Amino acid sequence: MTKRHRKFVGTHVFLTALAVLTLYPIFFMIVNAMRSGLSTATAPFALPSHIRWINFVYAWDGIKSAFVLTGWIELVSVAATLAIGVLAGYAFAKMEFWGKNALFLAIFALLVIPGFLTLIPLFLEIRNFHLLNTSWGLILPYIAGGQAFTIFVLRSFIQTIPEEMFEAARIDGAGHWRMFLNFALPLSVPMLIALGLMQFVAIYGDYVFPSLVLSSSGMHTVSLAVANFTPPPMAPDINSTNIQLAAFTLASIPIAILFFALMKYFVNGMSSGALKM
CATH number of the domain where residue 138 is located: 1.10.3720.10
pLDDT of residue 9 exceeding 80 = no
Classify each residue of 137-172 as buried b or exposed e, where b means 16 or more C-beta atoms within 10 Å of its C-beta. bbbbbbbebbbbbbbbbbbbbbeebeeeebeebeee
User: Is residue 4 in a domain?
Assistant: no
Say how many CA atoms lie within 13 Å of 89 toward its Cβ. Answer: 29
- State the pLDDT at residue 137: 92
Binned at pLDDT 50, 70 and 90, residue 235 comes out as: low
Q: What is the pTM of this model?
A: 0.83
pLDDT of residue 143 exceeding 90 = yes
Share of the chain above pLDDT 90, in %: 20
Structure-model confidence comparison of residues 112 and 240, the more confident one: 112
User: Is residue 160 in a domain?
Assistant: yes
Q: How far apart are CA 110 and CA 113, in angstroms?
A: 5
User: Is residue 154 in a domain?
Assistant: yes
User: Is residue 243 in a domain?
Assistant: yes
- State the pLDDT at residue 38: 61
pLDDT of residue 82 exceeding 90 = yes
- State the pLDDT at residue 12: 82
pLDDT of residue 152 exceeding 60 = yes
Show the domain range for 93: 62-276
Asked if 92 and 156 count as a contact pair (C-beta separation under 8 A), the reply is: no
Share of the chain above pLDDT 70, in %: 86
User: Is residue 117 in a domain?
Assistant: yes
- Whole-angstrom CA distances from 128 to 188, 215, 256 are 37, 16, 37
Average pLDDT in the 142-164 region?
A: 89
- State the pLDDT at residue 238: 61
User: Is residue 36 in a domain?
Assistant: no
Binned at pLDDT 50, 70 and 90, residue 269 comes out as: low
User: Is residue 199 in a domain?
Assistant: yes
User: Is residue 151 in a domain?
Assistant: yes
Mean of the per-residue pLDDT values of the chain: 83
Consecutive H or E run containing 226: helix 222-227
- State the pLDDT at residue 275: 45
- State the pLDDT at residue 204: 92
Q: Total domain count for the chain? A: 1
In this predicted model, what pLDDT tens digit does every residue of 199-227 receive, in sequence order? 999 999 899 899 889 876 678 889 888 88
- State the pLDDT at residue 274: 45
Asked if 85 and 195 count as a contact pair (C-beta separation under 8 A), the reply is: yes
Highest mean pLDDT among 45-59, 99-113, 138-152, 259-273: 138-152
Q: Where are the beta strands (DSSP E) in the chain?
A: none
Average pLDDT in the 63-84 region?
A: 92
| Among the ranges given (29-38, 99-108, 268-277), the one the predictor scored with the smallest mean pLDDT | 268-277
Say how many CA atoms lie within 13 Å of 80 toward its Cβ. Answer: 16
